[in-house]
Structure 1
Amino acid sequence: MRAMGLMSELKLAVPWGHIAAKIWGPQQGSPVLCLHGWLDNANSFDRLIPLLPKDFHYVAMDFGGHGLSSHYGPGFPYYHQNFVSEVRRVVAALKWNRFSFLGHSFGGLVGGMFSCIFPEMVDKLVLLDTSPFTLDTNEIENMPSYKRKAIEHTLQVEASNKPSKVVSPEEMLQGLLKNNSHVGEECGALLLQRGTTQVATGLVMNRDRRISWPEHSLDFISRELFVHFIRKLQARVLLIKATQGFYGVRESHTDREDLRFVRSTLKSVLRERFQYMEVPGNHYVHLNQPQLVAGVISAFLQSKETPAPP
């Protein structure tokens, strides 16, 4: 397919600074908001969006504290619902009344929560190797520890006031690859293009150092609450699971049961509005091998909307 070039960069004003975003496609096209994963940035979609339908309008935003977006102010924590609130600010600034989501990993969790809180605004939700919510079944004993560590880590970083570490481009790339084995060298370099800033002696990370582990920010919910939220959905949902992705490499019995529960609930509640597909690849299949998911996403975005029951 003919490559679709980047239309422009965008900065949207928010009370703590700005949200940065990248735009592809005609402004009059059907809008799609693309949400990246934890510690990633909008470049996560650079290799996928050019393979999607050209008549849609794609906006890939950097979450606060990520990519080229402003960091939250001191004392303002990075909680799950704050990222959902960011999305509401962005679509209000864009004057979108109804749109679709394309969310990878943590971005899918944010899109899932938004789609249930503001169901009338979302017509399609594409989940790339993720779930609309994270179940508490495997983490409930750890949650007090997560919350404690989140508070202590934030206070420690704010108190230290250390300048960002400067490293060579090669060291930065190797550090990324060591911490994220699912990202290949070429794709890791692509994420670092937007995730770092060049200084005189090397590179510094753009992201807020208070952001560390997603468990510190996630909202874990019970199965009962999961069902309650999903019943609010009006959107059609496409869930793409990578065979060697997040669920593929987490082999515990509880993780497999959680995925089965998520699938069965989405199927039973949404019925014909739910579509599930497995593709070969790892958690970053949309970046490493975008051709494996582009076709099904394109067909899903172009499909006729099935109205949700009243």
Structure 2
Amino acid sequence: MAVKGMLSELKLPVPWGHIAAKVWGSQQALPVLCLHGWLDNASSFDRLIPLLPKDFCYVAMDFGGHGLSSHHSPGLPYYQESFVSEIRRVVGALKWKHFSILGHSFGGAVGGMFSSIFPEMVNKLILLDTWPFPLDPKGIECVPTYRRGAIEHLLQVEASQKPRQVVSPEEMLQRFMKNNSHVNEESARLLLQRGTTKVATGLTLNRDRRIALPEHSMDFVSREQFMNFTKQLQARVLLIKAMQGYFNVRREDDTNKNIITFVTDTLKLILKERYQYIQVPGCHYVHLNQPENVAGIISAFLQSKETIPHHM
């Protein structure tokens, strides 16, 4: 399926292979880096970007181990900091000094962390149904359990050496939709186009099998750390919350809204007029299922003239 306005595909070299990306618009225009969610890929933005202002260059990258990007080197896990580092490699290759970030779900958390570590580089940070830094409602004390699970999963995958499973396109679609209840069929087909490879007898998933549960990779922070990371941000921040989206990254108690209250209160307290919060109807993948619900809000935010002075 061709996407209107897409200029090119990029393959940016990294020590373990390449990072793949899709580009919309002129690479001389104002840059926006688009970061997909957990186990998704750059096609997450295929239906949104054509609705956004044409005077920007949108680059949607596949994180390592996702989409068409190379898998990380053998023996290495996937941690959030690895993906933050990938952003720095990508913008370095593109020679971007200053840019904006549009991040969905896990991509927003990675983009938020990048914006705190490299604050002088990020003009605007747009968060789609996500927080800039991941909080766990069970508290920071759960992190050792998550880290243990990550290591044990990595060792288990290495020991299994099973061949990649091949399934029919229809079975792949049904499995994907079962595991992603917020994705409609059209959106699922888009993500699978980039997320699978055709072989003689069907389809195989492209993603690295070392990538499993999000809590294996997320760098969860305490509430105190959340506040400290927020204080480092120089960007203007727009948080778009889907009304039927997720409140809890682990989804076990998704009616608990204490986290979103803490996040929005903290961002408003620290960022003041640099922070904007908007709720929209839709589910966690509203930007893909119903992009018209968010396109106008994102467009206005990108085109707003207020800029944050960069500290040299």
Bin for the TM-score computed over the shorter chain: over 0.9
Counterparts in 2 of 1:199-214, with a 5 A limit? 199-214=199-214
Q: Please provide the CA RMSD for this pair.
A: 1.7
Aligned AA for 1:229? F
Give yes or no for the alignment of 1:280 onto 2:275.
no
Contact 1:137 1:254 in 2 (8 A): no
After superposition, what is the alpha-carbon deviation per residue over 1:36-64, rounded to whole angstroms, capped at 9, x for unaligned?
00000000000000000011000000000
Answer whether contact 2:248 2:254 (CA < 8 A) is retained: no
Alpha-carbon shift at residue 252 of structure 1 (Å)? 4.6
Post-superposition offset of 1:145: 2.1
Spell out, residue by residue over 1:211-253, the C-alpha distance to the aligned partner (whole angstroms, 9 max, x if none).
0110000011111111111011000000000000012896959
**2:44 equivalent in structure 1:** 44
Q: What are the ranges of 5 or more consecutive residues in structure 1 without an aligned counterpart?
A: none
Q: 1:109 to 1:248 in 2, by over 3 A?
A: closer
Correspondences of 1:73-222 after superposition (within 5 Å): 73-222=73-222
Deviations along 1:177-217, one digit per CA (max 9) or x if unpaired, are 00010001111010000000000000000000110110000
Aligned partner of 1:261 in structure 2 is 262
Judged with a 3 Å threshold, the aligned counterparts in structure 2 of structure 1 residues 255 and 220 are, in CA distance, closer, same or farther, namely: farther
What are the Cα deviations for residues 105-158 of structure 1, in whole angstroms up to 9, with x where unaligned? 000000000000000000000000000011244243432221111111111111
Check whether the contact 1:4–1:54 (CA below 8 A) recurs between aligned residues. Answer: no
Q: Which shows bigger deviation, 152-161 or 211-220?
A: 152-161
Cα distance in 1 for partners of 2:141, 2:119 equals 31
Rounded to whole Å, the distance in 2 between the matches of 1:59 and 1:105 is 17
The 2-side partners of 1:67 and 1:83 are apart by 14
**Residue 164 of structure 2 aligns to which amino acid in structure 1?**
S
Contact 2:140 2:221 in 1 (8 A): no
Q: What corresponds to 1:295 in structure 2?
A: 296
Q: Following the alignment from structure 2 to structure 1, what is the Cα–Cα distance between the partners of residues 253 and 39?
A: 25
Counterparts of 1:188 and 1:119, CA distance in 2? 34
Scaled by the length of structure 1, the TM-score of the pair is 0.96
Tell me the equivalent position of 1:242: 242
Q: Which runs of 5+ in 2 are unaligned?
A: none
SS in 2 for 1:54: coil
Are the counterparts in 2 of residues 36 and 107 from structure 1 also a CA contact under 8 Å?
yes
Aligned CA distance change for structure 1 residues 87 and 288 (closer, same or farther; 3 Å): same
Give yes or no for the alignment of 1:54 onto 2:54. yes
Give the alignment's TM-score, normalised by structure 2.
0.95
Q: Report the residue type matching 2:14 in the other structure.
A: V
Per-residue deviation, 1:306: 3.7
8 Å contact 1:137–1:222 — kept in the other structure? no
Per-residue CA deviation, residues 13-47 of structure 1 (Å, 9 max, x unaligned), is 00000000000011111000000000000000000
Provide the rounded CA distance (Å) in 1 between the counterparts of 2:310 and 2:17. 40
Q: Whole-Å Cα distance in 1 between the matches of residues 188 and 209 of structure 2?
A: 19
1:235, 1:308 within 8 Å by CA — same for their partners in 2? no
8 A Cα contact 1:8 1:23, kept in partner: yes
TM-superposed deviation, 1:254: 8.8
User: Secondary structure at 1:11's aligned position in 2?
Assistant: strand
Corresponding residue SS for 1:225 = helix
- How far is 1:308 from its partner? 5.4
How many residue pairs get matched? 308
